[in-house]
Structures are given as C-alpha cells and as structure tokens.
Amino acid sequence: MSAVVDACFFINWSQFKQRDEIFKLFRTLIIPEIVLDEIRSSIARSYLYLLAYQRRVSIAPRVGVVDREALKLFTLINSSSTLPRIDEPESYGLALALMLRLPFLTDNAAPRLATRYIKYLREAKVYDSLIVLKMLYKGKELITKVKEYSDETGVIFSEERLQEEGIK
C-alpha cells in the first residue's frame, strides 16, 4: 500500500533518525506535484532526492478531476471560522488520497478534524506523525520513539493528543 503525503508531515518526518521505518507500513510515498514547492528545508529536500533515487517516492501530477474535489474540500474546511485552515496543496493531497482510497499523512490538524464532522470524509484515513509512530511501535518502545521523534523534529504532541492514542 502507498500513502499520499503532505509537506508538513514530510518535512517533520525527514528529520527523524528512524525515518526509513515508514516503509514498513507503506511501499511508496506519493507526493502531489503541487506540494513539492512547499518542501524547502535542506534536510527534507535531501531526503526527497534520496527517496526519488531509491524509487520509494512518486510525484502525482496535477489533474483537473482531483483539483475539483480539492477545491470543494478547501472551501468546506476553510468555511469554519474557528478551526485550523487547510491550504491548496494540502486539500489537493487529501482529495487525491480520498479518490485513491489511500491514507493521507499530514501533521496539520485541519484534515483530521474534518473527518469527524464532514460525513463523507468519515471513511478517509488521515494520519499524523503520532498515528504513524503508533502503527510502527508498541508498548515501551512507542513511548521511547515518541520522545525521540519530538527531540529530533521539534514536534510537540499535546497531552490530550497523546491520551487519545493511549500513549499517556
């Protein structure tokens, strides 16, 4: 199985020392072409080159049918006055994942929250880095890896988010 990846997830995950372990879960990572421009950090760029060379990443071209779905998601999610926003590349990634019935990996809360209140998104699989860590590791090792991930990437998970995943 493959997964569609958003820029924020890829940038964060690329800094994790055990980053290659993600390929135990997903054969390839699909990055929408529109997302590429957002991946600017040198570590993330280097990792992207390496994965391209290893043929573990594929770039999804921008196509009209996905764009139409992305515009719908973009408008719906950004219509909330309070919840976090989604940008165009992210909504494209979510639309693509939805159409391909693949998981969407993002560290932005907006798509994950939207799967709770937009009925037709309830079937969508939206994973943040904590969920991916939980899929990779169990028990004490999971707790250790979550700490390592935070130390290495600068990502801090809220107490509530950790409790939600049964980690605290």
Partner 1 sequence: MSDEFLKIVSKEYNVKILWDEYRKVLEEFRRREEKAREIRRKHADWDFINKQPEPIRSALKILVETGDIKLASMISGLKVGIIDEYRRKAKIPYTII
Question: Which residues lie near partner 1 (CB under 8 A)?
Answer: 7-8, 11-12, 37-41, 72, 75-76, 79-87, 107, 109, 113, 116-120, 128-130, 153-161
Short-list 135, 105, 126, 102, CA closest to 24 = 135
| Beta carbon of residue 27, minimum distance to partner 1 (angstroms, whole number) | 25
Shorter beta-carbon distance to partner 1: residue 37 or 123: 37
Shorter beta-carbon distance to partner 1: residue 27 or 168: 168
Residue 11 identity = I
Token pair in block for residue 71: 């515009």
How far apart, in whole angstroms, are the C-alpha atoms of residue 123 and residue 30? 19
Shorter beta-carbon distance to partner 1: residue 40 or 62: 40
| Beta carbon of residue 48, minimum distance to partner 1 (angstroms, whole number) | 13
| Beta carbon of residue 157, minimum distance to partner 1 (angstroms, whole number) | 5
How far apart, in whole angstroms, are the C-alpha atoms of residue 51 and residue 144? 26
R_g (Cα) of the chain, nearest Å: 15
Shorter beta-carbon distance to partner 1: residue 58 or 80: 80
Which residues fall within 8 angstroms of residue 131, CB to CB, at 6 or more apart?
165
| Beta carbon of residue 13, minimum distance to partner 1 (angstroms, whole number) | 12
